[in-house]
Amino acid sequence: MSIDTGSIDVGSIDTGKWEIVVGLEVHAELATRTKLFCSAVNAFGGEPNTNIDALTLGLPGSMPVLNEHAVELAIRVGLALGCTVSPSTFARKNYFYPDLPKDYQISQYDRPINVDGSLELPSGKVIGIERAHLEEDTGKSTHVGGGGRIHDAGHSIIDYNRAGVPLLEIVGRPDIRTPEEAKSYVSELRAILVAVGASDGRMEEGSLRVDCNVSVRLRGSTELGTRCEIKNVNSLRSLGRAIEYEAARQIDLIESGEPVQQQTRHWNEDDGRTHKLRSKEEADDYRYFPEPDLVDLDPGEEWIERVRAELPMLPAQRRHRLAEAAGAELTQTTLVVERGLDDLCLAAIEAGADPSRTLTHAVQNLADERAADLDPSALAELVKMETGGALTATQAKTVLAEMVASGADPASIAAAHGFEAMDDSELEGMVDGLIEANPEEWRRFCEGDTKIAGFFVGQVMKATRGQADGKAVTALLNSRKG
């Protein structure tokens, strides 16, 4: 099905002329047991309006009490992103919407808990992080009838289970230049959040929600163009499509002499377009002021340093560590770390396995989830059998698949398959026999027809049912040529 995008020609952006500038704001639900300011349960998928209490509903007299675990998780993420953790203040962000029972959201404004960090993409590019602040989530409204939006709905229903769930809003700098980089950023951020135990990272359940600021400018320009913020992007695929559509729309406007207007827009997955929601609010519209019911939050050096000391190894560190140990390019380690196979590969390399073969197997032949349970010394043994010539690459792949499935050792699997090393003299005898039996082919080979080598290799493979090493056959042919 092709999607009608009107006059906007998505996919044909002249990237030599135009540059796309993207900054992402990611809201991550923190994996606490209870909500940010009360003891109502923080859980996804419950019966509507069951995980609520007086504070969730904004009833008079209810007072917020800060959740210590949420603060700890916020500090973990901040430190993992290289931020400075600072004393911070909660503020009221005032706006009226039915999913916000108090008519204000408790957030952080001019004094956020985490400032000035960065995130390294698997490509090695570094994206700046402006801030990562704590705030509470809103309830979830469903507009019934009409197009699923409030203005044409017959009625709306509200579930307050999500209201007050702790969020960390991670605001990235506008350092992203392509839809692919945007997707890579979100997937890396998700990996970090999961690694430090701050979030389950489930985009499909709304644990991770992305707002996307897009502008365009002529390549070479250093000024930022007018941006639009796209809401409701809930998958990596949508993120890439939304950026591409929105950039093409803005270029179209500029090229026809119309200004881009600062707007909040909504991504519609079904028609593949962004639609205007409202003209963009400025901070003034929210009438921020310090939350009078909460004192300033100063975690103190001791707490921050304890959290820092307890941080696990992060994906970027894992990629660098593996690249260094294997003498590989950073990008060759991305998938290995994503699959959680870097410890296995490092141990196998440590045990004497060829680093390059080890990484190749991890990327090409170890997609199976059980691969992480492989015994590193068995993997090392397999790689050694292969590099030592006892197994061909194809045989090694077969053996490896069985090692993952059964946990058996490579030598016995190879023996069971009859994958035994071909004796050198056996191979020599076979090649000599073929030369004698095929004088015409041999003459052409000697005259420099290199393609005919494939004939001899093929014959040997047929006779050995694929067990011979093709390279060894070619070497023998060349040695016989004299």
Q: Please choose, out of 16-24, 149-157, 167-175, 409-417, the segment that lies near Mn ion by the rule CB under 5 A.
A: 167-175
Q: Given the complex with Mn ion, which of 120 and 169 has the nearer CB atom?
A: 169
Candidate list 169, 229, 342, 386; residue touching Mn ion; CB under 5 A: 169
Separation of alpha carbons 235 and 265, rounded Å: 16
Q: Given the complex with Mn ion, which of 169 and 244 has the nearer CB atom?
A: 169
Residue for token digits 């499509």?
241
* Short-list 417, 97, 480, CA closest to 277: 97
Binding flag, residue 229, Mn ion (CB under 5 A): no
Residue for token digits 């999607």?
3
Q: Given the complex with Mn ion, which of 169 and 342 has the nearer CB atom?
A: 169
For residues 182-211, which are near Mn ion according to CB under 5 A?
Answer: none
Instruction: Tell me how far, at minimum, the Cβ of 105 lies from Mn ion, in Å.
Output: 8
Instruction: Tell me how far, at minimum, the Cβ of 159 lies from Mn ion, in Å.
Output: 19
Q: Given the complex with Mn ion, which of 96 and 309 has the nearer CB atom?
A: 96
Q: Please choose, out of 121-129, 161-169, 365-373, 437-445, the segment that lies near Mn ion by the rule CB under 5 A.
A: 161-169
Q: How many Cα atoms within 13 Å fall on the side-chain side of residue 365?
A: 23
Q: Nearest residue to Mn ion, using CB?
A: 169
For residues 429-468, which are near Mn ion according to CB under 5 A?
Answer: none
Instruction: Tell me how far, at minimum, the Cβ of 168 lies from Mn ion, in Å.
Output: 10
Instruction: Tell me how far, at minimum, the Cβ of 353 lies from Mn ion, in Å.
Output: 48
Instruction: Tell me how far, at minimum, the Cβ of 169 lies from Mn ion, in Å.
Output: 4
Instruction: Tell me how far, at minimum, the Cβ of 179 lies from Mn ion, in Å.
Output: 23
Secondary structure of the chain in the HEC alphabet? CCCCCCCCCCCCCCCCCEEEEEEEEEEEECCCCECCCCCCECCCCCCCCCCCCCCCCCCCCCCCCCCHHHHHHHHHHHHHCCCEECCECEEEEECCCCCCCCCEEEEECCCCCEEEEEEECCCCCEEEEEEEEEEECCCEEEEECCCCCHHHCCEEEEECCCCCCEEEEEEECCCECCHHHHHHHHHHHHHHHHHCCCCCCCHHHCCEEEEEEEEEEECCCCCCCCCEEEEEECCHHHHHHHHHHHHHHHHHHHHCCCCCCCEEEEEECCCCEEEEEEECCCHHHHCCEECCCCCCECCHHHHHHHHHHHCCCCHHHHHHHHHHHHCCCHHHHHHHHHCCCHHHHHHHHHCCCCHHHHHHHHHHCCCCHHHHHCCHHHHHHHHHHHHCCCCCHHHHHHHHHHHHHHCCCHHHHHHHCCCCCCCHHHHHHHHHHHHHHCHHHHHHHHCCCHHHHHHHHHHHHHHHCCCCCHHHHHHHHHHHHC
Instruction: Tell me how far, at minimum, the Cβ of 90 lies from Mn ion, in Å.
Output: 13
Q: How many Cα atoms within 13 Å fall on the side-chain side of residue 223?
A: 3
Q: Given the complex with Mn ion, which of 106 and 396 has the nearer CB atom?
A: 106
Q: Given the complex with Mn ion, which of 159 and 169 has the nearer CB atom?
A: 169
Instruction: Tell me how far, at minimum, the Cβ of 413 lies from Mn ion, in Å.
Output: 54
Instruction: Tell me how far, at minimum, the Cβ of 27 lies from Mn ion, in Å.
Output: 6
Q: Given the complex with Mn ion, which of 110 and 180 has the nearer CB atom?
A: 110
The size of the interface with Mn ion (CB under 5 A), counted in residues, is 1
Q: Please choose, out of 81-89, 169-177, 308-316, 451-459, the segment that lies near Mn ion by the rule CB under 5 A.
A: 169-177
Instruction: Tell me how far, at minimum, the Cβ of 171 lies from Mn ion, in Å.
Output: 9
Q: Given the complex with Mn ion, which of 209 and 361 has the nearer CB atom?
A: 209
Instruction: Tell me how far, at minimum, the Cβ of 210 lies from Mn ion, in Å.
Output: 12
Q: Given the complex with Mn ion, which of 169 and 386 has the nearer CB atom?
A: 169
Q: Given the complex with Mn ion, which of 76 and 131 has the nearer CB atom?
A: 131
Q: Please choose, out of 13-21, 52-60, 164-172, 327-335, the segment that lies near Mn ion by the rule CB under 5 A.
A: 164-172
Q: Please choose, out of 94-102, 168-176, 227-235, 251-259, the segment that lies near Mn ion by the rule CB under 5 A.
A: 168-176
Q: Given the complex with Mn ion, which of 169 and 188 has the nearer CB atom?
A: 169
Q: Under the rule (CB under 5 A), what is the footprint of Mn ion?
A: 169
